[in-house]
Amino acid sequence: MKEIIRITLGLTVSCLIAALVMGSVFIVTDKAKRHNEHVNVQNAMLGLLGYTEAHPAPSDLRLYTVYRYIIEDGDVRTLGYMVPVTGNEAVRYQLVVMDLDGQFVDRFKLDITPEKAQEAVERASALKAVLKPPRTFVYSDSTIIARLGKKRLAYLLPGKFPGFKTFIQVILAIDPSFEIIGLEIMEHEEDPGLGAEIKQDYFKNQFKGKSFEKIKNINVTKEPLPKEYKRYLEAGKGDGTPLPKGVVDTIRSKYQDRDIYALTGATISSKAVTDGVKNIIKKFAYRMNRLDSLISEQHIPVAF
């Protein structure tokens, strides 16, 4: 009996030690993983804006994040935007609430810094302090607004939509008129050699420079990608000879308003990205215009 108790205690202690070690490793590695993901996203966004190690971002570039929530109070549903605002102190956040028609409902000061707002738990805590029961809220999405000096430079839009196999995660950069600056594919599980080619410059760079009016009705064509256009889309990659400016301007003008040329053997993946990009921009433009109108009407001193 004593031997059984001794073995039981030994196993229990061993399990507790193992659990403690595994838990500690998970905490450390999870923090490192989230940090690496954050750095990867930051680098992707800066790259879309044209900044690299060789061409670093200027000192007056600022990135501000706006978080959107769906708020429910019984049968009433409203939209809540956590927006960064300026004041006598450092940048802080306010919650601006509007109804589904874009009309102002309420406004709350939030006790949270931009650094803490990066964590979902911290945002939830700040929102619970002002949205008392029975009101509830659910996170919807976020937008990063890039400001250069006093000028709004671009919107950076993380997005996710169905692909051929699972989901495709992207980051879009668009200018204040909602014209596409660039597209980066962050994660996907499309087939190697087929749909996975959505990460290639000759595909994703087709979206660059597409106007909002073009994007609203853009589609996919199965016509072969013209060689001169592919060379233009891959310009600056590898050791290829740069195209002369006159040639670049001619090709850009020729293909700017064309639909997206589908990847060979991967029309579904090509259309998934095209439709996903179109839907992200159309919905964002509608929401951003309403938010900007409300900010102007209520004289909210937003940082962006």
Domain spans in the chain, listed from the N-terminal domain onward: 61-142, 153-287
Give ∠ CA 280-281-283 in degrees, rounded to 5. Answer: 70
How would you label 113-145 residue by residue, b for 16+ Cβ within 10 Å and e otherwise? beeebeeeeebeebbeebbeeebebeeebbbbb
- pLDDT at res. 21: 79
pLDDT-flagged residues of the chain (< 70): 1-2, 24, 26-36, 236-241
How would you label 79-107 residue by residue, b for 16+ Cβ within 10 Å and e otherwise? bbbbbbbeeeeeebbbbbbbeeeeeeeee
- Cβ–Cβ under 8 Å, residues 138 and 70: yes
Which pair of tokens denotes residue 204? 């994703």
- pLDDT at res. 131: 98
Measuring CA to CA, which residue among 41, 87, 48, 89 is closest to residue 65? 41
Measuring CA to CA, which residue among 67, 69, 42, 68 is closest to residue 57? 42
C-alpha distances in Å from residue 32, one per residue of 24, 37, 65: 12, 9, 22
Distance CA 209, CA 51 (A): 17
- pLDDT at res. 30: 55
Q: What is the DSSP letter of 266?
A: B
Amino acid present at 53: E
- Cβ–Cβ under 8 Å, residues 304 and 145: yes
- pLDDT at res. 300: 97
Distance CA 175, CA 159 (A): 16
Q: What is the 3-state secondary structure (H, E, C) of 124-164?
A: HHHHHCCCCCCCEEEEEEEEEEEEECCEEEEEEEEEEEECC
Measuring CA to CA, which residue among 188, 186, 212, 202 is closest to residue 281? 212
Distance CA 282, CA 226 (A): 28
Per-residue pLDDT of 220-229, as tens digits, reads: 999 999 999 9
Measuring CA to CA, which residue among 134, 158, 133 is closest to residue 145? 158
- pLDDT at res. 236: 64
- pLDDT at res. 40: 85
- pLDDT at res. 35: 62
Residue 171 burial (CB count, 10 A) = 19
- Cβ–Cβ under 8 Å, residues 61 and 151: no
Instruction: Establish how many alpha carbons lie within 13 A of residue 243's alpha carbon, considering only the half-sphere containing its beta carbon.
Output: 18
Query: pTM higher than 0.75 for the full model?
Result: yes
- pLDDT at res. 238: 53
